[in-house]
Structure 1
């Protein structure tokens, strides 16, 4: 299939079914603890991409088995660049989901799959620990296999499930961070670092993360359902 050839959307009930499948990977804690690795890849990839866009030097990305991650950059310790870099983590998965929903709304399934593969390859180049390499390689291999071997109908269902997961899975981490902070945890979270840099309360940054993720979910769902 030509990369830029629009593909007809699956039946609405199939689109809804992929959304329910993504929801099933997001809500139950045991499944989420595994599936969240994909959100962490997006989170750290968001930090890395914006850091490069802001001309910061990207040193390393680390992904851990507890689904935490770390992106190390070098540059000015203050200023707009570092603020944007820190703000990009929790917003990355929802915004990627929204972009993916826009592509699917235009029928560009193949573009979405290969763009996701390219982004995963870019992240892989900077990962510096074994678990992180394994996580990205397995995720990327899944995208390559579906892109090369699956029928167009299967590719479309896979793409819809991935986008739904980014949208739905992007909503949960800010709530998890909010709960940790309520119990005195995560003192060096993105929200707390942003608070120290900007003198804006961490709670305001959390509200920003919530606003972005929920807005992307609403907008993305509208595109996915063709409304």
Structure 2
């Protein structure tokens, strides 16, 4: 345990550009290949609903539970005023959430804290697990947490760093795709209860503008994450 704690609190040597590029390519394949994306997208849903829940607590709402579904959709229920800045903030958090988490992870990696990143993620998953209210959601978080724990506990330093980069790339790259899927669903007549449409009802601002705002934030996080990764000069 003392060795684990030392690894968490110590910065690891920077990985090579080859590792950064390779993990980015793997992450892109996990997102672009549709048969795999059906399963890996659940990680995005976990981050999406986790962002809703985190902001709900920050703005003073009472978190009533989170559900994750097999179609990679999810719902976060919080109690409080159904309108107002607090509810708007909660709705705003979902789609940018994975990108912002990815950006925070990129910052940690730029400082060499790959192991701390993995253990921090594991702690966040344990906290999230306490709010899950359905069996599939429970299984999803436990399965993802088991993978993170296995790498954190048994993986070599090089494996831990590579896995941390893979997760970071995945969050940064998958967030814009989720926004595109949101708009595609809306154009097809679905998604009328989406975050963007709920924001339209609360604010009067067209849902398309909210979708655009989600897209701008996720792309900005991706661009900054690429700079912090060391692929481009800062």
User: Fold-level match, TM-score > 0.5?
Assistant: yes
Tell me the TM-score normalised to structure 2 length: 0.95
Tell me, yes or no, if structure 1 residue 27 matches structure 2 residue 60.
Answer: no
| Partner of residue 152 from structure 1, selected from 152, 157, 169 | 157
| Partner of residue 16 from structure 2, selected from 8, 11, 20 | 11
| Partner of residue 72 from structure 2, selected from 45, 67, 85 | 67
Structure 2: distance between partners of 1:163 and 1:136: 17
Instruction: Tell me which residue corresponds to 1:188.
Output: 193
Q: Please state whether the residue corresponding to 2:76 is helix, strand or coil.
A: strand
| Partner of residue 222 from structure 2, selected from 213, 217, 222 | 217
Structure 2: distance between partners of 1:123 and 1:81: 20
Instruction: Tell me which residue corresponds to 2:114.
Output: 109
Q: Please state whether the residue corresponding to 2:109 is helix, strand or coil.
A: helix
Q: Please list every run of at least 4 consecutive aligned residues from structure 1 whose deviation after the TM superposition is greater than 4 angstroms.
A: none
Tell me the TM-score normalised to structure 1 length: 0.98
Per-residue CA deviations over 1:136-178 (Å, capped at 9, x if unaligned) read: 0011111111111111110000000000000001111110010
| Partner of residue 81 from structure 1, selected from 80, 86, 101 | 86
Structure 2: distance between partners of 1:91 and 1:70: 16
Q: CA deviation at 1:202?
A: 0.4
Structure 1: distance between partners of 2:176 and 2:120: 22
Where structure 2 has 5 or more consecutive residues not aligned to the other structure, the ranges are none
Tell me, yes or no, if structure 1 residue 173 matches structure 2 residue 175.
Answer: no
Per-residue CA deviations over 1:11-51 (Å, capped at 9, x if unaligned) read: 10111000000000001111111000000000000000000
Per-residue CA deviations over 1:195-214 (Å, capped at 9, x if unaligned) read: 11011110110011000110
Q: CA deviation at 1:4?
A: 2.0
Q: Please state whether the residue corresponding to 1:9 is helix, strand or coil.
A: coil
**Cα RMSD for the two superposed structures:** 0.8
